[in-house]
Amino acid sequence: MRSFRVFILLILIIGINSVKPSGRDFPQYQNIQKTLQQGWNTWNTRSVLQQVLLPQGFAINIAFKQHYFLEEQYLREALIGRRGDDTEQIRPGPHTYDGSFTRLDIQWAELDARIETAHAGEDLVILISPNSIPNNRIKVIIESGMLWNRRGTLSRNKEHLQARISGNIIRVYTTAEIVDDDPYLDVKTPYMAVWLDGEIGISTGQKKTLQEIKEAIQIQKQKLQDEADEYGELSEAYVAVQAGIAWNLIYEPKHNRVVSTVGRLWNEEYGGYCLFGWDNFFLSFMTGLSSRDLAYANAIEHLHGKTENGFIPNDNRGNGSKSFDRSQPPVGGIMVKEIYKRYPEQWFLEATFDDLLEWNRWWPNARMNEGLLSYGSSPADNPFNEPVFETKTAAGYESGMDDSPMYVGVPFNKDKHTLELQDVGLNSLYIADCQALAEMAGIIDRNDEKLELLKRAKEFSYAMEKVWDNNFGAYLNYRTDVDSLSKRVSPTMFYPLLAELGYKGRADHIVQHFYDPKEFYGDWMLPSTTRNDPLFPKQRYWKGAIWPPLNFLTYLSLRQAGYYGAARELSDKSLKLILTEWNRKGYVSENYSSITGTGDDERLSSDRFHSWGALFGIMSFIEQGYLPKTESQLEPRK
């Protein structure tokens, strides 16, 4: 009996030891999160007007009270991109990842002001500068708070706010005269109220004058400019790309992490945070331009949201819901490979490889449709009663191109759990994912997995030969329901170049479509459907608008196949898109019109500030050599 108990114990020990640690378990990663969770920043997703000190959780919130003859309005929280006549309008400006400098302009009611913040050592300074003095008076409310159930006590004496945290005292001062004649403010913590009748300075630590606050801001502003100037002609793009992501960088308390999100409006709607299947891999890569820590953290945290079935969900939401039935395009391995090329630390591959491999294996198990992959939606638990499970709509969401004209008229097969469409873009990305993971496996001595991945890439590459159309000069989506190729295409037709499919002659035919003005070529490109598609004039969503991931993946594809001229032109035109909108309105939009080149064209359905819009700028940094070239291979381990 004793020997049987020992045998069972050995089995349990072997089982425990065989469980591979997640990326979050690596001590290198834990040190990264500890480093990221430091200092003042706009960490709280609920408002861009709030500064929070990590790890303490002490918050300084800027609110406004508009006074009128018979009524009063109160603005406690503000977000970029809200719509409506009575909502706050934010024009975002520069924002460093570490929060050392931020600037925004805000209009609301009669308020029209600029707010700048900066680090002064370990302290924070804030400058509120009215662009005009309103006819009806506005009060600025400087609120104190302790967030996320962190311990601390708050108080206010005559001249400052005070937080006592773990025996340390943090004081908050203002340069303006504090008024105490308004007991009806809807504030539940100690606060200071001042009239907005001129510039207002706020400082922590020691009390600072307006001039000292301005000097501290100028120091950090110049520091950012010096950093940007290192990128030469891309200096302005550097500021725009970083701001496009940094305004949506948050501390997420449920999982105790700093993580980039697609947008604060999405976070608000989805219960605190929202990570999207392919968006967040792009964010991981882009933050790697200037921050190794954020690049690693964003990738590892996104992989942490993998479902029990082993795939990265379409949506991963703060309310606990996930897209348990569907994934999104397999770009994870491709992006992790590119991050590693920028920051070649072996532990990062070891921390991400197994999750990526499990996701790679999931695709042929769940989405095989008569020899190639199709997007779909699987039977799954649906604890939040999401209505789209096992529908064509869900399969569209899995593609990331929700309502693309490519899917018009294509049925969803509930027995197969897929669309009746073998998707060229999906299969090409999947082959490229296999190839990227195989390279990674070689670095970390996972030789069996390397052979498995190369074998799978070869099998899918061979299967793709049946969807080549000589007359059209491209690989075309294949309708499995009617046994025919579909000539309704999008920029995904260029992805076979990324998968290294076809010989040079075929690649030349594919690239001809890039230069065809009836299809994709023009001043504003790439449209998400061809210009001669009957749905192109709509421009709404994926019916003709220009989308950052399509441009970016097409750019990678062109470079991989050696079409450097086309890649450079696409990069230049994408840069023009983001900088024109950034300079015009401070927006980094979700998508842009391929007719007007703007992100607020009335025909669009586009978030005004969506992190992946920065993809339009990141290509130029690859072009100029500030990020590794797409076509370069991983360096072997030394």
pLDDT at site 636: 59
Angle at 51 between CA 47 and CA 57, to 5 degrees: 105
Give 521: exposed, middle or buried? Use CB within 10 Å, 0-12, 13-18, 19+. Answer: middle
DSSP state for residue 21 in the 8-state scheme: P
373 and 430 in contact (C-beta within 8 Å)? yes
pLDDT for 361: 98
CA distances from 149 to 43, 57, 152, 153, 631 (A): 15, 8, 9, 11, 48
The 10s digit of each residue's pLDDT in 573-618 is 999 999 999 999 999 999 999 999 999 999 999 999 999 999 999 9
Residue 89: left if φ>0, alpha if ψ -120 to 50, beta else—which one?
A: beta
**pLDDT tens for residues 246-268?**
999 999 999 999 999 999 999 99
pLDDT of residue 7: 35
Residue pair 611/601 in contact by the 8 Å Cβ criterion: no
Mean pLDDT on 80-98: 95
Neighbours of 295 (CB within 10 A): 27
Instruction: Domain 42-226: give its CATH code.
Output: 2.70.98
- b/e per residue, 405-434, with b = 16+ CB within 10 A? bbbeebebbeeebbbbbbbbbbbbbbbbbb
Which residues have CB under 8 Å from 119's CB, separation 6+?
39, 40, 98, 99, 100, 101, 125, 216, 220
The H-or-E segment that residue 511 falls in is: helix 504-514
Count of beta carbons in the 10 Å neighbourhood of residue 341: 18
Map residue 2 onto helix, strand or coil: helix
Contact status, residue 327 vs residue 398, Cβ threshold 8 Å:
yes
Share of the chain above pLDDT 70, in %: 96
Round to whole Å and give the CA distance between 364 and 187. Answer: 55
CB-count exposure of residue 2 (10 Å: 0-12, 13-18, 19+): exposed
> What's the pLDDT at 408?
97
Q: How confident is the model at residue 19 (pLDDT cuts 50, 70, 90)?
A: low
Rounded to an integer, the average pLDDT of 55-81 is 95
Q: pTM for the full model? A: 0.95
Instruction: With cut-offs at 50, 70 and 90, classify the pLDDT of residue 1.
Output: very low
List pLDDT tens digits, range 554-575: 999 999 999 999 999 999 999 9
226-238: b (≥16 Cβ within 10 Å) or e: eebeebeebebbb
Q: Strands (DSSP E) along 384-514, which ranges?
A: 412-413, 418-419, 421-422, 468-469, 474-475, 478-479, 484-485
| Bridge partners, residue 162, by sequence | 155, 171
Q: What is the mean pLDDT of residues 198-218?
A: 97
Please report the pLDDT score of residue 502 as a whole number. Answer: 87
Query: What is the average pLDDT score of the chain?
Result: 94
- Looking at residue 135, the DSSP 8-state letter turns out to be S
Count CB-CB contacts under 10 A for residue 121. Answer: 8
pLDDT attached to residue 555: 98
First to last CA, the chain: 51
Q: Look at residue 620 in the predicted model and tell me its pLDDT.
A: 98
The pLDDT of 108-132, averaged and rounded, is 97
Q: Give yes or no for residue 199 having a pLDDT over 80.
A: yes
Checking if the pLDDT of 10 tops 70, the result is no
Q: Enter the tokens of residue 204.
A: 């922590």
Give the pLDDT of residue 561: 96
Is the predicted pLDDT of residue 13 greater than 80, yes or no? no
Tens digits of per-residue pLDDT, 142-191? 999 999 999 999 999 989 999 999 889 999 999 999 998 788 888 999 99
Residue 16 has pLDDT above 80, yes or no: no
- For the segment 294-309, the average pLDDT, to the nearest whole number, is 97
Q: Cα separation of 519 and 515, whole Å? A: 8
pLDDT of residue 342: 97
Could you state, in order of their start, the residue ranges of all structural domains in the chain?
Answer: 42-226, 502-638
Q: 50 φ, ψ to 5°?
A: -110, 135
The Cα–Cα gap between 426 and 504 comes to 22
DSSP calls for 71-95 = -EEEE----TT--STTS-EEEEEEE
d(Cα 332, Cα 298) in Å, to the nearest integer? 11
Q: What angle do CA 137, 142, 146 make, to 5 degrees?
A: 150
Residue 189: predicted pLDDT = 96
What is the length of the chain? 638
- pLDDT-derived band of residue 306, with 50, 70 and 90 as boundaries? very high
Q: Predicted confidence band at 4 (pLDDT cuts at 50, 70, 90)?
A: very low
Q: What local confidence, expressed as pLDDT, does residue 504 receive? A: 86
State pLDDT tens for residues 468-481. Answer: 999 999 999 999 99
Rg (CA), the chain: 26
Distance CA 153, CA 149 (A): 11
User: 73 phi and psi, to 5 degrees?
Assistant: -125, 150
Q: What is the pLDDT of residue 167?
A: 85
Q: CA–CA separation, 21 vs 547, rounded Å? A: 36
Structure tokens at 441: 């496996």
Kindly state the average pLDDT of the residues 92-118.
Answer: 98
